[in-house]
Structure 1
Amino acid sequence: MLCKAPNLRTAVLGCRIQPTILTPCAYHTTAPSSFRPTPDPSRTITRRRVPLPKHNVVFPATSSSIRCASSVSSAQGSSPSSAQSTSSNKKPTEILDWNTFFRLRRRRRFYQLGSSITTSAMGFVSGAALVSSANMDALVSQLPLDPFISLGLVTFTCAGAGWLVGPILGTGVFNLQNRRFRTQMDEKEKEFYRRVKKFRVDPSASSMANPVPDYYGEKIASVAGYRQWLKDQRAFNKKRQTYL
């Protein structure tokens, strides 16, 4: 063999000859300087674009975006308001049902009654003032009654004239307050009286035991009242046939 394996003596001599074994180890704590290789201009770097999945990313709103959004919302909000203002100018007509018609009809009767009481009192006061202040000898001398009775009749005549004028004023006030229903009320009034005239009984067949039930339909105040009025008319006819 060309080379022989070293024995123990040769290994010991080799250890004595190497000076690095006996020198202490020194540790360097300083960080190595950063080293960046200089780019090679002749080498072209190609980059691959990797498609990333899309996510709903919400960015914080800046002042400019807030101003733009506010201007857009104000522009959008102005159009409904303008449309609402135009629609408010053209209000749809309210439909008058029968229950509302009967309720308004009853209210009109209260207006007429209240106005009649007021105008009657005013006529009585005016007649009394006229009799007490004016010279009524020419008028009293033409009546073959006591002068006090004649003056009383003149006073009550003024009160009666006020009572007759009252329903006209009450109806005018009612029509002024409910002018949106005036046309519909006139139509339903005609329809109502047409039905009353058609279904009411013949008053010539009435008697003490079988009186006419509300011939003009003045007590009807609702649809249920109208149905009850029809039942009363049928009951009247049934009683008349029974008695005959």
Structure 2
Amino acid sequence: MQNLAWTPLRQGCRQFPRFTARKNFGSASFLRSNSTAASAAFKELNWVEYLEIRRRRRRWQTVFTIPCSLAGLFGGAMYFGSLETDPMKPIMGIDPMMFYGGCTVICMGAGYVIGPSLGSSIWRVINRTSMAKIDARDREFYKHIAKNRVDASLQSATNPVPDYYGEKIGSLRQYKQWLRDQAKYRRKAVLPEE
């Protein structure tokens, strides 16, 4: 009797995988259609569009650098300007006004460093729907950059490699110019003019 009670449950459990396969939850055609849709979505982002997106991202980073630098400057000036100082007691052997002025400049530098990261983070949040496509193109773009850039061992302190990471590339014209600059630098470094 107990065996008869479990029989419908066993049959229902056996049929569950078939049911899900019929609903395209795990079938090969469902996975194939998803991969086809993903590759089609990837193909939508061509190089011209990608480089335009890079240019906009760089603009966001630049725009956020300015207010972050100013916020660091004003924040440092307000904090260090409000401290009471004795001009006769040096701080680490430095005049207090010079020391606090240097600390204010360091606060401004911290804002300058934080600004691009903050701008890039906000840009990523705003464009989160297309970030998978952009990240895939980023990886491919950086492979091109790594393959075509000049070897860093050829540079000197007075003659650095131009735009080693390709940060300023924002269009196909700028990419072609970057390739020409790299080739010109490579020729000069390998065959120095006498």
Q: TM-score category by the smaller chain?
A: 0.5 to 0.7
Superposed, 1:222-233 pairs within 5 Å as 222-233=171-182
Query: What amino acid maps onto 1:162 in structure 2?
Result: G
Superposed displacement of residue 230, structure 1: 2.8
**In 2, Cα distance between equivalents of 1:212 and 1:109:** 20
Superposed, 1:131-210 pairs within 5 Å as 131-135=80-84, 141-205=90-154
**In 2, Cα distance between equivalents of 1:206 and 1:111:** 31
Q: Which runs of 5+ in 1 are unaligned?
A: 1-91
Note closer, same or farther for the CA distance 1:93–1:130 as it changes in structure 2 (3 Å cut). Answer: same
What are the superposed Cα offsets for residues 172-212 of structure 1, whole Å, 9 maximum, x if unpaired?
Answer: 2211222222111111111111111112122434579x874
Query: What amino acid maps onto 1:156 in structure 2?
Result: V
Give 1 or 2 for the bigger CA radius of gyration.
1
What are the superposed Cα offsets for residues 91-122 of structure 1, whole Å, 9 maximum, x if unpaired?
Answer: x9582221121111111112112211101111
Note closer, same or farther for the CA distance 1:169–1:136 as it changes in structure 2 (3 Å cut). Answer: farther
Superposed displacement of residue 152, structure 1: 0.5
Structure with higher helix content: 2
Aligned to 2:51: 102
Note closer, same or farther for the CA distance 1:161–1:207 as it changes in structure 2 (3 Å cut). Answer: closer
Aligned pair count? 151
Q: Which runs of 5+ in 2 are unaligned?
A: 1-39
Aligned to 2:68: 119
Superposed displacement of residue 124, structure 1: 1.3
CA RMSD of aligned residues (A): 3.1
Note closer, same or farther for the CA distance 1:136–1:157 as it changes in structure 2 (3 Å cut). Answer: farther
Note closer, same or farther for the CA distance 1:168–1:232 as it changes in structure 2 (3 Å cut). Answer: closer
Superposed displacement of residue 219, structure 1: 3.0
- Contact 2:72/2:107, CA 8 A, preserved across alignment: yes
TM-score, normalised on structure 2? 0.64
Q: Which has the higher contact order (CA 8 A, sep 6+)?
A: 2
**In 2, Cα distance between equivalents of 1:109 and 1:231:** 22
SS class of match (2:93)? coil
TM-score, normalised on structure 1? 0.52
* % same residue: 39
Query: What amino acid maps onto 1:197 in structure 2?
Result: A
SS class of match (2:94)? coil
Note closer, same or farther for the CA distance 1:132–1:103 as it changes in structure 2 (3 Å cut). Answer: same
- Contact 1:96/1:181, CA 8 A, preserved across alignment: no
Q: Spell out structure 1 runs of 4+ moving beyond 3 A.
A: 134-137, 203-208, 210-214, 231-244
Superposed displacement of residue 240, structure 1: 5.1
**In 2, Cα distance between equivalents of 1:110 and 1:162:** 17
